[in-house]
Each structure stands twice: as C-alpha cells, then as structure tokens.
Structure 1
C-alpha cells in the first residue's frame, strides 16, 4: 500500500516550482560569492604587479580590473573633496580626494589620498598641505565608490568654500563642479608608512562579503528541502483512528 495520498496536480507543480526557484537562488548566491572572491584575488595580485604607465592602462581598464599605474602631473591643491561616509571609518573621519592634472591631458584624474581619521569631534579633520609642483604618483586605478540616492540633489553646487564635503562620489557631478572632464575611475595611492593618511583600499564588499552570499545560499537550499519535506508531510497517508474501524 502506498504511503502517500495521490496529490493534486497543482500541489506537485507548486512544490516543484518553489524548490527549483530556491535551488536557482542558492546557486546564484554561490556564483556571486565566487565572483567576489576572484575580484579580491585579482585586486591583491594587482597591488604587487609591476607598475604601468597610466596612459596605456587607462585606455584598456575595465570595471573589474585594477591596474597598478604611475602618473605624472600636479595636484589642484585648492580643489579638495571629503567623502563623509567611508566604509572602514570606525573613529570618525573622511576619505580625501584631489583632482590631478597630467601634462598634455584635458581630463583630470581624481586621486584618493586615503582615509584621514577624525579628531573626536564632529568637525572635519585638519588637512595637511598638499605638495606643489609636478609629482609622480603610484597606485591602483580602480572604480570609484558606489553611488546611492543623495537627498536634496547636488550638494556640491550649494557649497562655496573648499574643501567640499559629499556623502557620495558621483563622478559626473564632480566633473560639473570642477568644470572639466574626469577619468571614470580614481587613482588610489599606494600605502606609505610616512603618510598621515590610512590607505587600505579594497573592493567595497562590506555590506555583502562572499561569506554572506554563502550563508544566503544555505538558506535558499534549506527552503528547497523544506518545500519538498512539507509536500510529503501534507500528502502522507494517515493511519485510520480506532473509532473509524468497523
């Protein structure tokens, strides 16, 4: 005798669809974890890779590439931007960005000087003076931090003094504010023990690291198993009660 009652067609279809959907979502989460781990490995490799000339690397750079480059030019020292929401900020502080003009280039390169820790108050930390004259910089050419929705529109246009503070690094908005075109990525300078800035540049996966993707994958796979188990529990053939026997 069968242990299961004959299920309705819609119950079978619904269970299969749900289980397949959960499995698909779980596999997708595993793929995302693998992609991010590959990006982290590629980033670590780039940091120790031989230095390339910026002009050659910038033309072939993609969103998932982090070429190690050097660039020559001078800072626009009177045009400093302070990013007020860096992910690694635990003490209060800002990430400092400065446009950099390279010889013979019409576009400006935005340089990430690093994180400047706060002083324990709600005031912006004191910025050390920037060097003047032509300099050679070295670092990773990488995508800027992600952009979210900024309430109130363009906050930079409402600020008349420098440095200017922003909670998102919107490259078109910065280009408009500077009145000059910008390269789409930023140059994150190499670490320097003598610098006051903290330079710990990694792809921003703080909100969803690979481990969290795997945790979500486990949840989706668990949902698939639960859907199948519930199907069998609801359709198992119950033993007749003693009162129902003749």
Structure 2
C-alpha cells in the first residue's frame, strides 16, 4: 500500500480503491460533459425551430423532396394524394395518459406525373387505441388533401434487435425508421417525415387527430442541471476517497531535559 505524505497527513492509497475511484470519477465527468453537449444540441434545435417559424411556408415540388432532409423543421405545404389502403401505426404512443398510435400515411405530390415518384411518410397525428389492442383502429384516409406541416427527421433509436413490421396493412411498427418503412413498401421513400401542423383541418371519422409535437424531449437547462449533478458526484467521490485514506501523523513530544 502506497503512502503519500502531505503536510501533517499520511494518505494510505490502496491501489484497487484508487483505480476504482479514478474510473468512477472519470465516468461521472464524461457523463457530465455528455449532458452539456446534449443541452447544447437541444438549444440548437430550439433555435432552429424558432428560425424556421419566422420564414414563410414553402410550397414544395417533386424536385425539392430529396433535399428536404437537409432542412429539418422547415415549414412546407402541398396538395397530396394518399395511398388509402397502406399506412403505418406507430405503437405505444402516449397522450395524456392514454395509449394510442401515430398514424403515418403514405402520400405523393398531386402535381407529379412520375409513377415512380417518391412516397412521403406523413404523420397525421395521434389517435387512441381501441379497448382491444389486438384490433386495429377504424381509420379513414382521404384520397387527397391540402397539407401543411414541418420537415421532421426521426432520430435513429437504440434498439436491441431489428424491427419486424407486420406484413398486412395497416402495418404496425414500434418506431418510424425510414429505412424499415421503405423496405416494407418496396418503393422509394422521401428521406424525411412530414409532420402535419395542428391547425390543418384533417379529421378521422369526425375526430381530430391530436398533433402535439414537442420540439425537444427535454429542455436544455435540465441537461445542464444533470451535468452539475454528475460533476458534483465526481467531486464528492474524490473527497470521500481522500478522507477515508487520510490519517494524521502523530505529534512527537520533545523530551524534557
């Protein structure tokens, strides 16, 4: 066991305890830095959303579709035609404590003349699930509609295994992965998702879809608060280790003459 002398204290450094403490401190510092980076990323997303809100809505054309993946949050509108018999149900979506689905329809721009035109996944919004979860909700997808909304890029989820999409339509899916959806429809998909704005008059059997699109899942200040906690834990771990290892050297009394 190594002994480090500093002033009137001896620090007995158990190598195993020292290594474990340094690893724990390093991990907590890394987690704190990661939280700061996540907070900065969320702040950029909020700023980007605000800037996009200040720009006039864009009437999109077929030639613009491949480029919209580089313009997340841009407001777009167009008249589209839907594949009425093909749509996805994104499972386990919660709204105000109720379980339901996000309905992702497949649409093409109405003014296209290309039969191989890109299909656009359009998230119409949330609907409640039937009492019997084995039953699909009754939906009405119109033949066409004027839509307005925003470009959305679904983030790649952390999944333990690849998703398996049900073969029949509507197809249930756990997460709207664009690559998985494209493989399922066996046609080329636009490289983004279109989230319909809440003000767009679009109904399912006279019931409005719920469109509560959070900009970020967690506000930046909460990430920064978590970062402070991780740094505080790292400091506390160092202090506890030093206190446990410290031992005051005995004071030697001078002998009387």
Q: Report the 3-state secondary structure (helix = DSSP H, G, I; strand = E; otherwise coil) of the residue aligned with 1:32.
A: helix
Q: CA deviation at 1:152?
A: 8.1
Which residue of structure 1 lines up, in the alignment, with residue 7 of structure 2? 2
Q: Distance in 1 between matches of 2:159 and 2:27?
A: 31
Is the Cα–Cα contact under 8 Å of residues 76 and 149 in structure 2 kept in the other structure? yes
Q: How many residues are matched?
A: 237
Structure that is richer in strand per residue:
2
2:43 to 37, 46, 53: 37
Q: Distance in 2 between matches of 1:176 and 1:93?
A: 24
Q: Which runs of 5+ in 1 are unaligned?
A: none
Q: CA deviation at 1:182?
A: 0.2
Taking only aligned residues, the RMSD between alpha carbons, in angstroms, comes to 3.7
Alignment pair present for 1:113 and 2:118: no
Q: CA deviation at 1:69?
A: 0.8
Q: Distance in 1 between matches of 2:141 and 2:162?
A: 31
- TM (norm. structure 1) is 0.76
- TM (norm. structure 2) is 0.73
**In the TM superposition, what whole-angstrom CA distance separates every residue of 1:184-242 from its partner, at most 9, and x where no partner exists?**
2111111137541011123462xx6545533431232122212331343245342649x
Q: Distance in 2 between matches of 1:29 and 1:132?
A: 45
Q: Distance in 2 between matches of 1:22 and 1:236?
A: 23
Q: Which runs of 5+ in 2 are unaligned?
A: 1-5
Which residue of structure 2 lines up, in the alignment, with residue 125 of structure 1? 137
Q: Distance in 2 between matches of 1:83 and 1:143?
A: 15
Is the Cα–Cα contact under 8 Å of residues 63 and 143 in structure 1 kept in the other structure? no
Distance change (3 Å), C-alpha of 1:245 and 1:197 = farther
Task: List aligned pairs for 1:38-77, cutoff 5 A.
Answer: 38-47=44-53, 49-55=55-61, 58-62=65-69, 65-77=72-84
Q: CA deviation at 1:32?
A: 1.1
Is the Cα–Cα contact under 8 Å of residues 91 and 174 in structure 2 kept in the other structure? yes
